[in-house]
Amino acid sequence: MMSGSMTDGTEMKTAASPSDCAIELRGIVKRFPGVVANDGINLKINRGEIHCLLGENGAGKTTLMRILYGLYQPDAGEILLTGVPTKIRSPKDALVHRIGMVHQHFRLVPTLTAAENIILGLDEGTGPFLNIRKVRAKINKIANAYGLAVDPQAKIWQLSVGQQQRVEIIKALYRDADILIMDEPTSVLTPQEVDQLFSTLRTLVDDGLTIIFITHKLDEVMEVSDRVTVLRKGKVVGTQLTSETDKPSLAKLMVGREVVFRVEKTPVHRGDKLLEVTELHALNDRGLPALRGMSFDLYEGEILGVAGVSGNGQKELAEVLTGLRHATRGRVMLAGKNVTNHSARKIAAAGVAHVPTERITMGTVPNMSIRENLVLKSYRYPPVSHGMFIDYRYAKQMAQQAMKEYQIIAPSDETAVKLLSGGNIQRLVLARELSGDPRLIVAAHPTYGLDVGATEQIRQILLQQRDRGAGILLISEDLEEVMTLSDRIMVMFQGGVMGIVDGAAAKIEEIGLMMAGEKQGVSASAQSTNAKVA
């Protein structure tokens, strides 16, 4: 078999030339208990290109790249680097072969400085001693060459997410990587930071690097890549030149069917004022100010989207509104009643539903069954319970109905929640939270990590709730989601409101500037100066 592939004439004809091919993956198979994550993947990456790996969550993109980076061992198949079969047993092996990876969740030690993170694990021939001045000089040289400004002496936890990503890229370049794997690099960035990242990537490619860019966003594929490979359910469904394809056909490949991009939305019917937040202050887990005087209103029958780079107080806002965090100052009025710092149970009883960010740790009890999770809020009251006893037969009926209505797919209502997929868990959370028709729904990242199908469905559910008359506070880092669903968009920056704009008229540039800390209105004049800088 080995000799066959070595002398395979047809293979040679299809590739431009063997030296142009930086990486070739042949028949890669990786199984996890119950899933085939990669099912016989063949892929060729040319030297000096930006190659996008496109696919839904769970399509096997990250698994494939982890195999290439030595974090997983494939069950079958082989990796060829510039035509030579190579075993990559560990990340260290990958680094030896000059492969670098920027993970979706950064691999940085928060309490170490940027410089310390960059040199971690390296042997630069100075034994145990560090020539920190030389290290810093090399970092600055890389930073200047590729527009990756970062302070080497800053501790990672003090840096913004965008800066942390730059540290990650420098880390790979410091190790002389000439193949760079970027795993969903834009999910945490502002639009401006995305632009900056893309220009950095282009400079890198001009210098001869090869970049593999994992994403599920079609816009990014079109903007940044030279070629694109689409993965679906662990298989390659096509590789195309980006210039010869378009978004709808890529989407069709990715999902396996036509996708409606526009969510059908009825015009807004604003009701009475539902939520009135005045000068709200709160601290984060470290005791530092997270909310600094937020004020806004939310009406019945509208979706108020909250945009912002993560870590600007969105999490704390959701927690204060649902009674999980103490407000240090300010007032929260729900339908004319003061509910500031009421307990979570009281607030829930007042008709506030919470779809939390962490659907597994906060939204459900993973070891308990679907049925038990579904009655977690209503178990205290009849008809689910009578005195101290729970009517399990009633709960079972209720659970089975909810499973049907919300399409929660599981062997039975007694299945433990931890065995469900992300989409099923999220539908379960919605089923529980939306039962009893809440007046206010605080939804944090409701579609995060879900595939296109599940995302569509959950967005539809939220819109139905809005049309029913519920007020929805939609917190999301997915700007596209905020812009498609919201009737109004509020932008948060460092715990304050930068501005509230009309959803239909909102421009992405304007929102981007507010996400970076420009107050609404100031942005018009700032935009011209910004244009000069860019």
Partner 1 sequence: MGWESWLISTFARALAYGTPLLLGTLGEIYAERSGVLNLGIEGMMIMGAYAAFVVTSKTGQPWLGVIVAAAVGGVFSLIHAFASITLKANQVVSGLALTMLGLGLAGVLGRSWVGLPLFTPLTRATVPGLSAIPIIGPGFFTRQCLLAYIAMLLVPIMWYILFHTRIGVTIRAVGEDPATADSLGVNVARVRYLCVVVGGIFAGIAGAYLSIYYRPAWTAGMTGGIGWIVIALTIFAFWNPVYGLVGSYFFAALYFLAYRMQMWVAPSILKAMPYVFAILILIFVSRGTLQKRMGAPAALTLPYTRGEE
Please tell me the count of residues contacting partner 1 according to CB under 8 A. 33
CB of 330 to partner 1, least distance (A): 22
Nearest to 282 by CA among 325, 240, 224, 335: 325
Alpha helices, DSSP H only, in 273-406?
A: 314-321, 344-349, 370-374, 392-405
Using CB under 8 A, pick the residue from 28, 30, 60, 72 that binds partner 1.
72
Residue 158 Cβ vs partner 1, minimum distance, rounded to whole Å = 9
Query: Nearest approach, Cβ of 28 to partner 1 (angstroms)?
Result: 17
Q: Which is nearer to partner 1, 108 or 169 (CB)?
A: 108
Nearer to partner 1, 144 or 158 (CB): 158
Query: CA-CA distance, 458 to 406, in Å (whole number)?
Result: 9
| Nearest residue to 413 (alpha-carbon basis) of 424, 422, 403, 423 | 403
Interaction mask 152-191, partner 1, x per CB under 8 A: ---x-x----------------------------------
Binding to partner 1, residues 138-157 (CB under 8 A): 155, 157
Alpha-carbon distance of 358 to 279, in angstroms, equals: 27
Complex with partner 1: residue 166 or 232, whichever CB lies closer: 166
Nearer to partner 1 by C-beta: 26 or 175?
175
CB of 90 to partner 1, least distance (A): 7
Amino acid 1 reads: M
Q: For partner 1, which is the closer residue by CB, 101 or 516?
A: 101
Please list every residue from 268 through 297 that binds partner 1, using CB under 8 A: 285-288
Collect all residues with Cβ–Cβ distance below 8 Å to 77 and sequence separation of at least 6: 25, 26, 27, 28, 29, 40, 41
Q: Which of the residues 230 through 249 are near partner 1 (CB under 8 A)?
A: none
Binders of partner 1 among 293-352, rule CB under 8 A? none
What 153-158 contacts at long range (C-beta under 8 Å, 24+ apart), as own/partner pairs, is: 153/113, 153/114, 153/115, 154/113, 154/114, 155/110, 155/111, 155/112, 155/113, 155/114, 156/108, 156/109, 156/110, 156/111, 156/112, 156/113, 156/114, 156/117, 157/110, 157/111
Nearer to partner 1, 178 or 433 (CB): 178
Binding to partner 1 by residue 411, rule CB under 8 A?
no
For the segment 462-481, give every residue that binds partner 1 (CB under 8 A).
none
Cβ closer to partner 1: 72 or 296?
Answer: 72
Strand 488-493 vs strand 496-502: parallel, antiparallel, or unpaired?
antiparallel
Name the amino acid, one letter, at 191. P
State in angstroms the smallest separation of the CB of 112 from partner 1: 6
**Exposure string (b/e) for 274-303, b if CB count within 10 Å is 16 or more?**
bbbbeebbbbbeeeeebbbebebbbbbbbb
Q: At what angle do helices 392-405 and 422-434 cross, to 10 degrees?
A: 120
CB of 501 to partner 1, least distance (A): 35
What sign has the CA pseudo-torsion 425, 454, 452, 312? negative
Q: Which helix (H) or strand (E) holds 29?
A: strand 21-32
Q: How far is the CB of 181 from partner 1 (least distance, A)?
A: 12
- Comparing CB distances to partner 1, the nearer of 123 and 244 is 123
Cis check for the bond before 289: say yes or no (omega within 30 of 0). Answer: no
Residue 129 token pair: 């001693």
| Min CB(123)–partner 1 separation in Å | 8
Task: Name the residue among 160, 167, 214, 158 with its Cα closest to residue 188.
Answer: 160
- Give the C-alpha separation, 208 to 213, whole Å: 16
Instruction: Indicate the DSSP class of residue 47.
Output: T
The footprint of partner 1 on residues 52-71 (CB under 8 A) is 71
**Which residue's CB is nearer to partner 1, number 164 or number 465?**
164
Query: What is the per-residue binding string for partner 1 in 15-54, x denoting contact by CB under 8 A?
Result: ----------------------------------------
Sign of the CA dihedral with 214 first, then 219, 223, and 226 last: positive
Nearest distance from C-beta of residue 75 to partner 1, angstroms = 14
Nearer to partner 1, 71 or 419 (CB): 71
Closest contact distance (angstroms) between CB of 131 and partner 1 is 10
Q: How near is the Cβ of 45 to partner 1 at its closest, in Å? A: 21
Residues of span 77-136 touching partner 1 by CB under 8 A:
90-92, 95, 101, 103, 107-112, 116-117, 119-123, 126-130, 132
Give 244 or 285: the residue with its C-beta nearer to partner 1: 285
Residues near 125 by Cβ (< 8 Å), separated by ≥ 6?
none
Nearer to partner 1, 35 or 390 (CB): 35
In the complex, the smallest distance separating the C-beta of residue 185 from partner 1, rounded to whole angstroms, is 16
> Using CB under 8 A as the criterion, which residues of the chain lie in contact with partner 1 when the complex forms?
71-72, 90-92, 95, 101, 103, 107-112, 116-117, 119-123, 126-130, 132, 155, 157, 285-288
